């Protein structure tokens, strides 16, 4: 077994503390993520899936427990500092790209994720062939729109760009938060296929939230199910291969 890239130990998250609406959203999450894991994440609405991503990304503080990255305690490391090793793609195509910048400029920006170095637009020209080649792997014509402002792209192209931006500088951990949910079925399928290919080619470690149970079964080597802020199933390898949609429905009862 490969070494853990991220470990969550007894993570608890409370919101609206000291009010009548105080709620424990995550209730003792223990999760060890190994290098190369591609984990699909399922669970009922409100189970805590996005909250789990928020906690991993440092967007939401934990109330108890610890998070380790490569064995180093990052529980109190800022969200900004975590972007050095972590990238995230959201459901909304508008998040994750700068609308007035062109596709190529956005890609250049993404090559500096987690760095404080200034951008040198002069360097863009030399990168265009590489960026165009990468854009072509998305199979949706993005490579023909390198000089188009991102705001003028279709939702599918924009989401494909968000995905490319998240992966152009290799992240230790990639969080995909229902990143194809806002797309039509054909576009969604295309992006999922490209996602799977990139994860495999670059040996990325990724977590992907999805409400499509067939996709949760089809993709990844491991699946976790959340319910009421707890992990109620963690299945990998052959065991995952043998899972059926009917099995998964039980996690939603």
Binding positions for ligand ATP, rule: CB under 6 A: 15-16, 25, 43, 45-51
Min dist CB 248 to ligand ATP, Å, is 14
Is residue 199 within 8 A of residue 183, CB to CB? The reply is no
Of 128, 184, 127, 187, the closest CA to residue 163 belongs to 187
Nearer to ligand ATP, 43 or 93 (CB): 43
Min dist CB 200 to ligand ATP, Å, is 26
- Cα torsion 210, 27, 4, 220 to 10°: value is -20
Nearer to ligand ATP, 47 or 183 (CB): 47
Min dist CB 46 to ligand ATP, Å, is 4
Is residue 157 within 8 A of residue 210, CB to CB? The reply is no
86-89: strand order across its sheet: 86-89, 173-177, 206-209, 38-43, 222-227, 230-236
Min dist CB 16 to ligand ATP, Å, is 6
Complete DSSP assignment for 85-148: TEEEE-SSTTTTS-TTSBHHHHHHHHTTTT--PPP-GGGHHHHHHHHHHHHHTTSSSGGGGTTS
Nearer to ligand ATP, 82 or 113 (CB): 82
Nearer to ligand ATP, 41 or 217 (CB): 41
Nearer to ligand ATP, 46 or 151 (CB): 46
Min dist CB 136 to ligand ATP, Å, is 32
């Amino acid at each position: 077994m490969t070494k853990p890239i991220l470990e969550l130990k007894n993570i608890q998250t409370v919101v609206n503390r000291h009010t009548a609406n105080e709620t424990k959203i995550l209730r003792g999450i223990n999760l060890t993520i190994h290098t190369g894991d591609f984990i699909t994440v399922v669970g009922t609405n409100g189970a805590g899936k996005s909250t789990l991503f928020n906690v991993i990304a440092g967007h939401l503080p934990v109330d108890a427990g610890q998070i380790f990255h490569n064995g180093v305690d990052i529980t109190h490391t800022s969200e900004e500092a975590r972007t050095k090793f972590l990238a995230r793609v959201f459901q909304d195509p508008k998040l994750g790209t700068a609308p007035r910048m062109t596709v190529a400029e956005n890609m250049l920006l993404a090559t500096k994720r987690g760095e404080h170095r200034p951008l040198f637009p002069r360097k863009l020209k030399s990168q265009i062939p590489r960026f165009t080649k990468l854009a072509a792997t998305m199979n949706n014509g993005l490579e023909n729109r390198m000089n188009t402002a991102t705001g003028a792209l279709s939702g599918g192209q924009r989401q494909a760009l968000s995905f490319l931006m998240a992966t152009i500088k290799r992240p230790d951990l990639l969080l995909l938060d229902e990143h194809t949910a806002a797309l039509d079925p054909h576009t969604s399928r295309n992006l999922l296929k490209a996602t799977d290919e990139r994860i495999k080619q670059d040996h990325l470690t990724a977590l992907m939230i999805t409400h499509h149970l067939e996709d949760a079964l089809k993709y990844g080597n491991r699946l976790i199910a959340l319910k009421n802020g707890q992990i109620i199933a963690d299945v990998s390898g052959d065991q995952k291969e043998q899972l059926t949609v009917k099995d998964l429905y039980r996690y939603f009862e």
